[in-house]
Amino acid sequence: MTVETFSSDFIARLRHSRGVDLETASQNDLYSALAWTVRKNLIDRWLETKKTQAAQKAKVVAYLSAEYLLGAQLNNMLLASGLEQTARDAMASLGLDFDKLASVEVEPGLGNGGLGRLAACFVDSLATLDIPAIGYGIRYQHGIFRQTFVDGRQAEQPDNWLELGSPWELPHPEASVTVRFGGSVAHATSATGEDVATWTPSWEVEAVPYNYLVPGYGTANVNSLRLWSARATQSFDLQIFNSGDYEAAVRAQTFAENISQVLYPEDSTPQGKELRLQQQYFFVAASLRDMIEQVGTSLDALRTLPERVVFQLNDTHPVIAIPELMRLLVDEYSVAWDEAWDITRSVFNYTCHTLLPEALEVWPVELLGRLLPRHMEIIFRINDDFIAELREQRPHDELLVRRMSIIQEQPLRAVRMAHLATIGSTKVNGVAALHSELLKDKVLVDFSNLWPGKFTNVTNGVTPRRFVKLANPGLSSLIDEAIGTGWVKDLSELRQLEPLAEDAEFRARFRDVKYANKVRFAKVLQERDGIEVSPDAIFDVMVKRLHEYKRQMLKLLHVVSLYDRVLKGDFDPTTLTKRVVLFGAKAAPGYLMAKEIIALINAVGKTINSDPRLDGRLRIAFPANYNVTLAEKLIPAADVSEQISLAGKEASGTGNMKFALNGALTIGTLDGANVEIRELVGEDNFFLFGLTEPEVEQLQSAGYQSAKYYESNPALRGAIDLIASGAFSNGDRSAFERVVSDLLWHDRFLVLADFESYIEAQSTLESAYADQDAWSRAAVLNVARSGFFSSDRSIRDYLDRIWHAPAVPLR
Ligand SMILES: *Cc1c(COP(=O)(O)O)cnc(C)c1O
């Protein structure tokens, strides 16, 4: 495509779809027309992909995820279509600023954090590897909230990402699927003596599919992401409709459309909200129906399901799909229960994302039974069959039965979704080597004893297209020049950079790239947030959701203790290595402790940033609203990656991988994928600290008392006392009492126990940074040895270990 055709397509689009010309177009008109012009160049490939995959009856990977944290679309679509330069030149020829237009896009924030971003990386890699795959999810009207700070405290604003329309989606209302809820179930016995259940639901909604193109990189393949949006049916409330109460029926419609209104902002701590269960069933029921219709609903076709589709459950959010498939097979298509169960178990696989007990989803039997009465019956039957089998295999162990049952009795009768997922799946995987071990040995130990072959690991990954190629053009060009361009599709090729770590000229160029990225980010921060930072400081970065287990408090105590020592005259601030500590983090709106920590970080930042005694050598920068767009700008500029969760709490992390691939050095604990990062990059190129997981267990079972660490470590005591003294709250000693007293009397995540070790690792890091050339060598090695963390490799592992779905290249 030439610049001229691109320009004339763009102008035509502007006129015919937006009804404006260049003179009268708004920024949004221009952005939309640009997006449409780019999309036009992918549509043929997309249609061709669908045709090829359908003709071959290839096995499809159906990824079921309640979240997709996609990030901005335009640049990724341009990369896939190879039109980056054409689009830039075309805009320039029309007197338009491409970068300014690109910045109009509001990113679709349809996820909370790592889990949703993982799903987005996975659909990218599936497309790149030519795997027939579809991502199913929810088209939330409002994605993750927009964060602002008011007096340093988090305030949330609704994310209106669809306000001006999205040029990337293709709605198909004619392909809507009806999803039903509530009502009651009647039973009868068939002529052959089988139980026949008839569900009479009490209300229903329509699920409208919106398709998004997911183009692969370096291939013609374009897969789909299908997100469902809720719309009221004409007869939404079946009782009201039949009674003829028109007004009530109309009023009730808004209730139906509520289902896809908003993403729940809790990350790792699900709230047992009825609407959330409605969302889960809504998208899963629509997706199963959609998939089954593609395979066919005859008994013969249904029997081929295991060869035609594999459903991957991204955490427990879509696990209601298991009883839903049983309901479809048994009640709607008259498949015998045992055969239906064999089919069901062979098409589902479950990815567990957590180790925190409070993150394991449970649904009260009362609620699930009211919303989905037939599914509740099916779950009970699955459980009865499972327990009967268990009693046969492990007689006289009723404690075991109670532990493994899908139904928990205390403190509330509820369905344990992780148990249902494990029982109803072929494979269960954790998301990093350590996590998968702990899953087998702790969280699901009874199940792994019963079915050892069911458990496997697939270490997470990130897409190198978005997080290196697009985010870090400077580094990308340097790599291209050194080893060619193959690394974008085969990230293991980064290994070829290893010898260049010994090349002084290469190191200098690598350092120049990092410096230029820091300058670029400093400018972004100035324009976006009015925050000033010097590119000559260490960029020490901790960006991720705010959670106590991730331990932003430990990072903050490091800063406060440095400040405290300067105030006490313990050392001369001019000997401090210049450092900017960058935080980015959203807290769940109802997570009070997390919000207190945000307020405290901002309060400390306000005080130290304006204290002339520090001479600008130690600063905190906390830009609001950390999202994918900010991550792409910030991560390439980072010197230090803070991955400091308590060992045994972070399942994997993926932020840690993005940083290593962009040449930041990690300071971290032996947690999640940090373990594998350290093994690969080499222990000399990683700053390790902290307790190991077994040490954490031991310390906690011996009765951990954080106050002892406070008493015995003067630097720690100084930092905590300084916060408690009101130094960051205008003398108000009660302002951060909740945080202080939690650290002293609970400290569930052992911040105080790891403090000393962390401070030591930080001073090792500081000395290492002083030798810039040695630092660059270590940074180059981090890049060269992190190719393993491509999500392409994760997908290959899923294919080998779980999915067994062959690639279907076009032509
Ligand atoms: C990668 C990413 C995450 C996950 O970060 P972790 O450090 O692994 O928790 C969260 N949010 C955004 C915007 C990301 O890009």
Q: Give the DSSP H or E segment for 388.
A: helix 373-393
Long-range contacts of 728-731 (CB under 8 A, 24+ apart): 728/600, 728/603, 728/604, 728/606, 728/607, 729/603
Q: What is the pLDDT of residues 347-396, one digit of tens each?
A: 999 999 999 988 899 999 999 999 999 999 999 999 999 999 999 999 99
Give the Cα separation of 98 and 91 in Å (integer): 6
Q: Which residue's alpha carbon is nearest to atom 10 within ligand 1? A: 113
Predicted pLDDT of residue 13: 96
Predicted pLDDT of residue 241: 62
Per the rule left: phi > 0, alpha: psi between -120 and 50, beta: everything else, 169 is: beta
DSSP track, 612-676: GGGTTSEEEE--SS--HHHHHHHGGG-SEEEE-PPTTT-S--SHHHHHHHTTPEEEE-S-TTHHH
Mind telling me the catalytic residues?
353, 544-545, 550, 654, 658
Q: What is the architecture of the domain spanning 56-71+107-358+417-459+798-803?
A: 3-Layer(aba) Sandwich (3.40)
Q: What is the pLDDT of residues 128-166, one digit of tens each?
A: 999 999 999 999 999 999 999 999 999 999 999 999 999
- The beta strand positions in 86-168, using DSSP E, are 109-110, 133-138, 146-150, 153-157
- Measured in Å, residue 663 CA sits from the centre of ligand 1 at 17
Please answer whether residues 584 and 601 qualify as being in contact, where contact means their C-beta atoms are separated by less than 8 angstroms. no
* Ligand 1 pocket residues where CB is under 6 Å: 113-114, 117, 544-545, 626-628, 631, 653-655, 658
Alpha-helical runs (H) found in 484-551: 504-529
Sign of CA dihedral 332, 335, 337, 343: negative
DSSP track, 153-190: EEEEE---TTTT--TTEEE-GGG-EEEEE--EEEEEE-
Predicted pLDDT of residue 414: 98
Q: Which residues of the chain have pLDDT under 50?
A: none
For the chain, count helices (H), then strands (E). 34, 25
Q: Which residue's alpha carbon is nearest to atom 5 within ligand 1? A: 655
The candidate with the shortest Cα–Cα distance to 309, out of 349, 352, 351, 341, is: 349
Give the Cα separation of 696 and 647 in Å (integer): 7
Query: What CA dihedral angle connects 641, 435, 590 and 736, to 10 degrees?
Result: -50
Residue 465 is given by DSSP the state: I
Q: Which residue's alpha carbon is nearest to atom 4 within ligand 1? A: 114
The candidate with the shortest Cα–Cα distance to 246, out of 235, 255, 257, 232, is: 235
Predicted pLDDT of residue 387: 98
**Which one-letter amino acid corresponds to residue 717?**
R
471-789 classified as CATH 3.80.10.10: no
Give the Cα separation of 87 and 98 in Å (integer): 8
In three-state secondary structure terms, 198 is: strand
- Measured in Å, residue 544 CA sits from the centre of ligand 1 at 5
| Ligand 1 probe mutation, 267, 545, 634, 677, most atoms within 8 A of CB | 545
Predicted pLDDT of residue 238: 66
Predicted pLDDT of residue 254: 79
Q: What is the pLDDT of residues 659-695, one digit of tens each?
A: 999 999 999 999 999 999 999 999 999 999 999 999 9
**Which one-letter amino acid corresponds to residue 455?**
F
Q: Is the pTM of this model over 0.85?
A: yes
Place of tokens 């089998």: 389
In three-state secondary structure terms, 382 is: helix
Q: Which residue's alpha carbon is nearest to atom 1 within ligand 1? A: 655
| Ligand 1 probe mutation, 543, 552, 658, most atoms within 8 A of CB | 543
The candidate with the shortest Cα–Cα distance to 275, out of 324, 327, 205, is: 205
The boundaries of every CATH 3.40.50.2000 domain in the chain are 56-71+107-358+417-459+798-803, 471-789
